[in-house]
Amino acid sequence: MRILVTGANGQLGNEMQMLAKENPQHLYYFTDVQELDICDKEAVWSYISEKQIDVIVNCAAYTAVDKAEDDRELAHKLNSVAPGILARAAQANNAAMIQVSTDYVFDGTAHTPYTEECKPCPDSIYGSTKLEGEQEVMDHCEKAVVIRTAWLYSIYGNNFVKTMIRLGKERDDLGVVFDQIGTPTYANDLARAIYTIINKGIVRGIYHFSNEGVCSWYDFTVAIHRLAGITSCKVRPLHTAEYPAKANRPAYSVLDKTKIKTTFGIEIPHWEESLERCIGKMKNDE
């Protein structure tokens, strides 16, 4: 199959590129804004038609959650309009599309894991624009899959794991919120799941994917420091109110992964196991 991966320079896009070597049966087109502006309808339509794309994996997004509160126009353009352009182009060329979305489509007031049947209720510009993007894709592409994920990190790009390792080495003391609960997701595991969906065949629908298990950002940081061998920094639990941010974060955003596991036969590792693999790779790259 001929696969287009947008947002190829991001965390997930880079993991998709690395895993392409394990999936040599496909022909790949990895693009970022320099190669293909997904907000440019004419450019998208001609690219997908000329390259005869079979599957679009949209890893591109506006992910600066706090900045989005002020930069609504660009967040809407990248998270809502662009997926709609890609979806319509996919439909016109009989292609499938996989759209990556977020736990932020929920407000986080639940106390049990969110299933795909739960009614979305975003509480931020980022969450609202990502939900609009989901709807655009599902409305305009018959062979569409939306994957909601959460707390994404990788050896690539800027992310929470890298930040906590850097701060842990720089500081003696670090405060991290303990009252926001969710599940970290290693982008490499998500990329593997995407390849499984492509190889087994698209089954239209919305799916949830994160690693297994549950933790707070505080627990996550403690584990990061332990696995990175950082012993000189004391990690303190903070309330969300002590760490003000422009955009509201879901207090509880654990995703139920039953649907993706049963539909595609995907086995998902526990978050600590995946974190250990990621930090191990970081150490090897040093």
pLDDT digits (tens, 9 = 90+) for 180-197: 999 999 999 999 999 999
pLDDT band, very low/low/confident/very high, at 243 (cuts 50, 70, 90): confident
Q: Please tell me the distance from the alpha carbon of residue 199 to that of residue 251, in angstroms, as a whole number.
A: 35
Q: Which amino acid is at 84?
A: G
Match 């999936």 to its residue by tokens.
Answer: 23
Surface-to-core class of residue 247, CB atoms within 10 Å of its CB (0-12 exposed, 13-18 middle, 19+ buried): middle
Residue 66: per-residue pLDDT? 86
**244 pLDDT exceeds 80?**
no
Alpha-helix residue ranges (DSSP H) falling in the chain: 11-20, 41-50, 65-68, 72-76, 82-92, 125-140, 160-170, 187-200, 217-228, 258-264, 271-285
Catalytic residue among 126, 195, 207, 218: 126
Buried b (16+ CB within 10 A) or exposed e, 76-99: bebbbbbbbbbbbbbbeeebbbbb
Region 113-133: mean pLDDT is 96
Instruction: Give the residue among 168, 268, 150 at the shortest CA–CA distance from 226.
Output: 168
Rounded-to-integer distance, Cα 283 and Cα 286, Å: 5
126 belongs to the catalytic site: yes
Can you tell me the mean pLDDT for 39-54? 97
- Averaged pLDDT for residues 103-131: 96
What does the alpha-carbon distance between residue 274 and residue 189 come to, in Å, rounded to a whole number? 8
Q: For the residues 57-71, what does the mean pLDDT come to?
A: 91
User: What pLDDT score does 74 carry?
Assistant: 93
pLDDT score of 284 more than 80:
yes
pLDDT at 64: 86
Q: What is the mean pLDDT of residues 38-65?
A: 96
The 8-class DSSP code of residue 116 comes to: T
Q: Which two tokens stand for residue 83?
A: 């997926």
pLDDT surpassing 90 at residue 166:
yes
The three-class DSSP label of residue 202 is coil
- Give the mean model confidence (pLDDT) for residues 252-273: 98
pLDDT for the residue numbered 241: 87
Asked if residue 6 lies in contact with residue 86, where contact means CB atoms within 8 angstroms, the answer is: yes
Predicted confidence band at 246 (pLDDT cuts at 50, 70, 90)? confident
Q: Give the Cβ contact number of residue 232 at 10 Å.
A: 10
Rounded CA separation 116/18 (Å):
29
Q: Which two tokens stand for residue 75?
A: 């967040």
pLDDT at 245: 83
pLDDT bracket for residue 162 (50, 70, 90)? very high
